């Protein structure tokens, strides 16, 4: 794998640092996590890592970390400003022994400024960026999207990007460096497009929950189904909207994309409540593997053949493997049935796939989604 041979030391923390370490483990790095004695077992992101329990309040534990970092490529630490320095594990000490070390600091507020010594959580970091004010339903309060944006997108992923850039730069300089990744700045950077697109009046300009992408529009929203579950609709482009409305059995002239959003929401709400989520999402997997120029396609189920016995026998003889005794058993005494040798399907090109597959998706509960997604990807 691409990171095979890269050695990472990760000091145990909550979600952001463990996910950052897991990314490196997933791509082949040798990751050793330093756990604290008697710490609760709440880390669910330890995949691919090895663990060692050390008491960093004792000189012996600190000494072992120093030895690990002396030959490591990366250190990931999740503590507030000054904590590592108090333990004698600050960057000045560790990089003196190992100038190639990439010292990654993943914190909430960074190493400078009035908030650097404060504790915080995803919702606090997100609120400081201003992005939280844009999330939520019409006439409702700002709603945090659990802890995905700041902890994982603005924290873990941005830190992993910084470490990767430092590893790349080291190939020319031979030197490590400090990566200062904090969740406030990382989340703000993730929201760059949101800030820079505020001058696009077609997208923004209205209050929270009333714009095109924040549940204000009926074609970018969620809808309850008959069984109390939900469907997610994302039919932003006119051609996708037209196909979605048509497949729902509605008249595009009466359910226009830019008609009154609240009225159109009511139409779609009523429509989606006519069926269960399963009924809305029944589909067949496309043939795999996918060929870029000549993909297969899901064909219509053939109707039962109505033919005379003599013609049927001739048909089966023509399209059955040689050697079959027509009893469904191989003449070689194995139990596998002979397979029909049928002509290959006609080529279907990329543009022929129903584009509505990208517009309407079920909203599964977490456990069901993980299970179904794992089955789908097998």
pLDDT digits (tens, 9 = 90+) for 8-62: 999 999 899 999 999 999 999 999 999 999 988 888 999 999 999 999 999 999 9
Q: Is the pLDDT of residue 374 over 80?
A: no
Catalytic residue among 121, 180, 218, 260: 121
pLDDT value, residue 326: 40
Helix then strand count (H, E) for the chain reads 13, 9
**Which pLDDT score is estimated for 316?**
53
Q: Is the pLDDT of residue 371 over 80?
A: no
- Average pLDDT estimate for 121-150: 96
| 121 carries an active-site annotation | yes
% of residues, the chain, pLDDT over 90: 72
Q: Looking at the predicted structure, is the pLDDT value of residue 177 above 50?
A: yes
Beta strands at 360-363 and 74-77: parallel, antiparallel or unpaired: unpaired
Q: How confident is the model at residue 71 (pLDDT cuts 50, 70, 90)?
A: very high
Place of tokens 């483990």: 25
Q: What is the pLDDT of residue 369?
A: 47
Average pLDDT over residues 199-206: 93
Helix residue spans in 11-153 (DSSP H): 16-26, 59-70, 83-86, 91-97, 122-129
Give me the pLDDT at residue 367, please: 53
* pLDDT at res. 362: 76
Cα 223 to chain centroid distance, Å, stands at 22
User: How many CB atoms neighbour CB 322 within 10 A?
Assistant: 7
Residue 292 has pLDDT above 90, yes or no: no
User: What is residue 325's predicted lDDT score, i.e. its pLDDT?
Assistant: 44
Q: Position of tokens 């053949």?
A: 305
What's the chain's average pLDDT?
Answer: 84
Distance CA 331, CA 38 (A): 66
What is the C-alpha to C-alpha distance for residues 122 and 146, in angstroms, rounded to an integer?
A: 8
Report percent pLDDT > 70 for the chain.
78
CA distances from 38 to 55, 166, 337 (A): 10, 34, 59
- State the Cα–Cα distance between residues 83 and 85, nearest whole angstrom: 5
Q: Residues 90-130: pLDDT tens digits? A: 999 999 999 999 999 999 999 999 999 999 999 999 999 99
Residue 318: predicted pLDDT: 53
Q: pLDDT per residue over 238-248, tens digit each?
A: 999 999 999 99
d(CA 219, CA 30): 46
CB count in 10 Å sphere of residue 161: 16
pLDDT at 357 over 80: no
Average pLDDT, stretch 336-340?
Answer: 40
Task: Answer whether residue 172 shows pLDDT above 90.
Answer: yes
Q: Are 200 and 324 in contact (CB under 8 A)?
A: no
Structure tokens at 218: 């009926």
The predicted model gives 157-186 an average pLDDT of 98
Q: How far is CA 290 from the centre of its chain?
A: 21
Phi and psi of 84, rounded to 5°?
A: -65, -40
Residue 104 φ/ψ, nearest 5 degrees: -100, 125
- Residue 222: per-residue pLDDT: 97
Question: How deeply is 291 buried, as exposed, middle or buried, from its count of CB atoms within 10 A (0-12, 13-18, 19+)?
Answer: exposed
Contacts 24+ apart (CB under 8 A), 276-285: 276/225, 276/226, 276/227, 276/229, 277/225, 277/227, 277/229, 277/230, 277/231, 277/362, 278/227, 279/226, 280/225, 280/231, 280/360, 280/362, 281/231, 281/361, 281/362, 283/357, 285/376
**Which class for 60: exposed (0-12), middle (13-18), buried (19 or more C-beta within 10 A)?**
exposed
Instruction: Name the active-site residue from 73, 151, 214, 218.
Output: 151
Look at residue 306 and tell me whether its pLDDT is greater than 70.
no
C-alpha distances in Å from residue 283, one per residue of 19, 55, 208, 364: 34, 54, 35, 16
Do residues 364 and 248 lie in contact, with contact meaning Cβ atoms separated by under 8 Å?
no
Is 218 part of the annotated catalytic residue set?
no
Q: Which pLDDT band holds residue 83 (cuts at 50, 70, 90)? A: very high
């Amino acid at each position: 794998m691409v990171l095979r041979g890269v050695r990472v030391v990760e000091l145990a923390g909550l979600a952001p640092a463990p996910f950052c370490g897991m990314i490196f483990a997933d791509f082949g790095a040798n990751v050793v996590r330093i756990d604290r004695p008697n710490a609760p077992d709440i880390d669910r992101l330890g995949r691919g890592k090895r663990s060692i329990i050390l008491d960093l309040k004792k000189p012996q534990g600190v000494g072992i970390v120093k030895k690990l970092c002396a030959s490591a490529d990366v250190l990931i630490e999740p503590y507030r400003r000054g904590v590592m320095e108090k333990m004698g594990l600050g960057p000045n000490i560790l990089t003196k022994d190992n100038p190639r070390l990439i010292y990654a600091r993943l914190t909430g507020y960074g190493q400078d400024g009035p908030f650097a010594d404060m504790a915080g959580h995803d919702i606090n970091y997100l609120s400081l960026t201003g992005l939280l004010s844009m999330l939520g339903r019409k006439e409702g309060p700002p709603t945090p999207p659990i802890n995905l944006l700041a902890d994982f997108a603005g924290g873990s992923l941005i830190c992993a990007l910084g470490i990767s850039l430092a590893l790349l730069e080291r190939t020319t300089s031979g030197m490590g460096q400090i990566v200062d990744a904090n969740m406030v700045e990382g989340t703000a950077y993730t929201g760059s497009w949101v800030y820079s697109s505020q001058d696009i009046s077609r997208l923004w300009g209205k209050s929270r929950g009333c714009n095109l992408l924040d549940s204000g529009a009926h074609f970018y929203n969620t809808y309850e189904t008959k069984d109390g579950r939900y469907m997610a609709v994302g039919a932003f482009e006119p051609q996708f909207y037209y196909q979605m409305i048509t497949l729902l059995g509605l008249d595009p002239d009466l359910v226009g994309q830019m008609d009154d959003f609240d009225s159109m929401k009511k139409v779609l709400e009523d429509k989606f409540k006519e069926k269960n989520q399963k009924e809305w999402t029944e589909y067949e997997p496309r043939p795999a593997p996918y060929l870029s120029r000549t993909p297969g396609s899901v064909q219509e189920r053939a109707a039962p053949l109505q033919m005379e016995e003599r013609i049927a026998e001739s048909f089966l003889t023509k399209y059955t493997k040689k050697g079959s005794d027509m009893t469904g058993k191989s003449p070689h005494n194995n139990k596998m049935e002979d397979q029909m040798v049928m002509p290959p399907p006609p080529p279907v090109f990329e543009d022929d796939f129903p584009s509505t597959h990208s517009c309407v998706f079920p909203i599964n509960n977490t456990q069901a989604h993980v299970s179904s997604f794992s089955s789908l990807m097998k």
